[in-house]
Every structure is written in structure tokens, then in C-alpha cells.
Amino acid sequence: MKIRRFAIRAYAIAALTLMLGLVLSVRLNSWTWLSRSGSLIVINGIILTSHQVFEHMQRLRQSQIRRQSQFNRDWAGGEKSAFVHDKEELLWLSEKYGLYMLIFGTFIWGFGDLIDYL
């Protein structure tokens, strides 16, 4: 149910973004605003399809906190990061950063030409 609400909200945001892009394009007589809204819709789609990755990262973080607290109670010295940070965590981290790169790149693709106006 939570995922369904998230999906409905994402579709509503995409529709509003499209309508805003159309209105701005017509009022400003510049159809570049429609393509800019398209890049925002793509970002919305990336977030929608990647929702599971973000939820999994939260579960991994909770698991890591539990493991870290177990090792903090240990009095023995030595390198414990291999026990706290496993390969699965590194895989999900790389996917998370890949998603951030997709979002950032899509935003620059749609709005990068406006940097001159800053």
C-alpha cells in the first residue's frame, strides 16, 4: 500500500510537471520549457523506479548500526571494518551513487544552459 501511494504521488507530480511545462512554453513562447519539464519527469521516473534501492539502503544502515554497536562493546583491538562493511553494502552504495549521478546528469541536461543567467 505504501508503494502504491508513492507511485500515485509520482504520477501526479509528473502530470503537474508536464502541465507546468506546457503552460510556460505557451506563455513564454519558448518550447524549451516543455523539454525542461521532460527532464524533471525523467528524474521523477528515476526516483520512482529506484524507490526499492533507497528502502534497502535504509535497512542496510540499520543493520550496520546494530553490527557497529556489537563491535563497540568489544575490547579487543584490530581492524573490524570488514565485519561491519560487507560486499552487499558496497554493491548497494554503488547503485545509490549511480542513481544520484543519473538524477544530477538529467537535471544538467535539461537546465544546464541556464547557468549563464546565474
pLDDT tens for the chain, 118 residues: list them. 677 888 899 999 999 999 999 999 999 999 999 999 999 999 999 988 887 777 777 777 777 676 666 655 555 555 555 555 567 677 777 888 888 899 999 999 999 999 888 8
Q: Are 106 and 46 in contact (CB under 8 A)?
A: yes
Please provide residue 73's backbone torsions phi and psi, each rounded to the nearest 5 degrees. Answer: -80, -15
pLDDT value for 17:
96
Q: What ranges in the chain are assigned the alpha helix state H?
A: 2-28, 32-49, 51-72, 81-84, 87-111
pLDDT value for 67:
64
Please provide residue 99's backbone torsions phi and psi, each rounded to the nearest 5 degrees. Answer: -65, -40
pLDDT value for 12:
95
pLDDT value for 20:
97
